[in-house]
Amino acid sequence: MNVDKFLEKYALGFTDFSGVELPEANLCGVKLSGIDLSHANLSIVNLSGANLTKANLSYAQLNVARLSGAYLEGANLTKASLNVANLIRANLNNAQLVQASLIRGELIRADFSRANLREANLSNADLREATLRHAVLRGANLNQACFKGASLVAANLEQATLNSTDLVRADLSGANLREAELRQVNMFRANLCGANLCDANLRWADLRGANLSWADLSGAKLSGANLTGANLSNANLTNTSLVHADLTEAKLIQAEWVGADLTGATLTGAKLYGTSRFGLKTDMLICEWVDLSPKGDRSIIHNLNAEDSGDFFNETPPTIRIIIDRPLDPEANFALAGAYFQITQKYQGLKQPPSMEIGRRRTVFTFRVDSDESLFPVAYMAILPFKDAAPTQKSIYTAIEMIARKDIDERLISAQKIHQLTILLEQAMQNVNLIKDATKILGIAAKLNFFQAPTQTILTNSSAKNLIINDNPHFGKRLIDHPQIEADLYEDELSELAKSRQPTLAMVEGFFKGFHYIN
């Protein structure tokens, strides 16, 4: 069919041109909205500036076609072949390009907003400054494509392959790159704020100066990646592999990276304010100094040498375990949530809810803290909803007092460190009084059996040393629910048990020896 007859039939209202042969045709600027060109041969055709809105181009052959400036909003290009096609500034809003082939296509400044490119092949395609906002590229082949300066805001790139792809200064904020293959990708100064990169493969990626704030990189593989000067503030790096990664002067303020592997990584000049130093693997870590200032302005510099880094970074996170000799029931769970919510409103040190392990007889609450120094004050607050709060808090105060009174070598526990611990504990004590005066939920909790049950509070420091700070003498005695059990224990026996279960000076001193301090 020649071009004139084709256009004449379309003008008469005929739209079904499925399988038509129009190779090398000149259809520049024509209006063909709603046309059916499925399975058509349109290779080397000139459709520059053509209106193909809602056209059916599924399975069409458009190799080396010229579609620059064409309007393809809502068009169906499922499994179409557009290899080496020119789509510069083409408009493909809401277009369907499922499994389409656009190998080496020229797509500069093309608009693919909300387009469906699932499993499409865009390898080696040129998408410089293209718009792919909210586009679906799940499972797409984007290897060695150029997305320099492109907008991929909130795009779905889950399980897509982008090996050696150029994403320099691209905007991928809020994008889904879960389980994507991004080996040797170039993301220099790319915006990945809030992006989902969970379990993504970013080995040897160039992420210099990239914005990864609030991004989820949990379980991601960043071995050998260059993150020099990258912004990882508030990012989730839990269990992330950063083996031999370069994090020189990276911004890691308030990042979460428990379980991260930093073996052989470079961390010199990293900004670490509000970031936990525990729960990390840091063998052969290179770190000469870190920035601990709140704004990352180098106003607080902490210098390190090879020996210091082992003390500063540690694989064991400090924890507080409160073991309750009763299983958690729904009513107690509700009251507990309310109680801890009220506590966190007044005391920021208890910033995260505990992990819970509920057994047939007991409940274990585990609180993770960011420093050894925080163990005592946080435990002082965490026990507050329970009947055992008073003896536990007294034991905490006594432990600090014992260490403060004893004349200890300054190199072990200095007067400055004791003073710091005392201030932290006094702040917690002041907050306890404020909370008791301001909330009724603690009174409600106190009436429930769960909060009256015997408890055991165990502190674990960053050297994995434990200290049982309080052990209720009834703990472990409630084999069955029977009120006679308590009556069977004489008061003098309880007194002896209580004395024997308080931590001794030697126990407390040994526990403090395992502390890793910032200063």
Q: What pLDDT digit, counting tens, does each position of 22-74 carry?
A: 999 999 999 999 999 999 999 999 999 999 999 999 999 999 999 999 999 99
The residue type at 259: G
Residue with tokens 């709140």: 294
Each residue of 312-361: pLDDT tens digit?
A: 887 788 999 999 999 999 999 999 998 888 888 888 888 778 999 999 88
Q: In the predicted model, is pLDDT for residue 269 greater than 90?
A: yes
Name the pairing type of β-strands 301-303 and 355-358: unpaired
pTM for this predicted structure: 0.76
Q: Report pLDDT digits (tens) over 385-427.
A: 999 999 999 999 999 888 887 755 545 566 777 788 888 888 8
Given a contact cutoff of 8 angstroms between Cβ atoms, the answer to whether 186 and 166 are in contact is yes
What pLDDT does 221 receive? 98
Alpha-carbon distances, residue 131 vs 96, 152, 242 (angstroms): 15, 7, 31
- Sheet of strand 270-271: strand arrangement: 270-271, 289-291, 301-303
User: Nearest CA to 182 among 196, 354, 193?
Assistant: 196
CA dihedral 298, 302, 306, 308 (to 10 degrees): -160
Cβ contacts of residue 441 below 8 Å, gap of 6+? 335, 338, 339, 342
Could you read off the pLDDT of 277-314 as tens digits, one per residue? Answer: 888 899 999 999 999 999 999 999 989 877 777 778 87
3-state DSSP call for residue 486? helix
The answer to whether residues 247 and 270 touch, using CB atoms and an 8 Å cutoff, is: yes
Confidence of residue 518 (pLDDT cuts 50, 70, 90): low
Task: Provide the mean pLDDT of the chain.
Answer: 89
What is the Cα–Cα distance from 504 to 488, expressed in whole angstroms? Answer: 28
User: How far apart (Å, rounded) are the C-alpha atoms in residues 61 and 43?
Assistant: 6
Q: What's the CA gap between 143 and 186, in Å, rounded?
A: 11
Percentages helix, strand, coil for the chain (3-state, rounded to 5) are 25, 20, 60
Three-state DSSP string of 293-321: CCCCCCCCEEECCHHHHHHHCECCCCEEE
Q: Would you give the DSSP letter of residue 518? A: -
From residue 58, give the alpha-carbon distance in Å to each of 61, 74, 384, 400, 432: 9, 12, 66, 75, 68
pLDDT at 485 over 90: no
What percentage of the chain reaches a pLDDT higher than 90?
A: 69
- Around Cβ 84, how many Cβ atoms within 10 Å? 18
The b-or-e profile of 406-423 (16+ CB within 10 A means b, else e) is: eebeeeebeeebbeebbe
pLDDT tens digits, residue range 97-121? Answer: 999 999 999 999 999 999 999 999 9
pLDDT, greater one: 404 or 490: 404
Give the CA distances from residue 64 to residues 94, 336, 407, in Å, rounded to whole numbers and listed in that order. Answer: 23, 66, 85
Report the distance separating Cα 326 and Cα 387, nearest Å.
Answer: 13
Would the pLDDT of 210 be above 80? yes
Residue 198 scores a pLDDT above 80: yes
Distance CA 271, CA 263 (A): 19
Q: Which residues of 50-71 are buried (b: 16+ CB within 10 A; e: fewer)?
A: bbbbbbbbbbbbbbbbbbbbbb
Location of structure tokens 């387009």: 115
Name the pLDDT band for 462 (thresholds 50, 70, 90): confident
- Give the pairing of strands 301-303 and 319-324: unpaired
Query: What pLDDT, in 10s, does the model give residues 126-164?
Result: 999 999 999 999 999 999 999 999 999 999 999 999 999
Residue 463 confidence (pLDDT): 85
pLDDT confidence tier of residue 1, bands split at 50, 70 and 90: confident
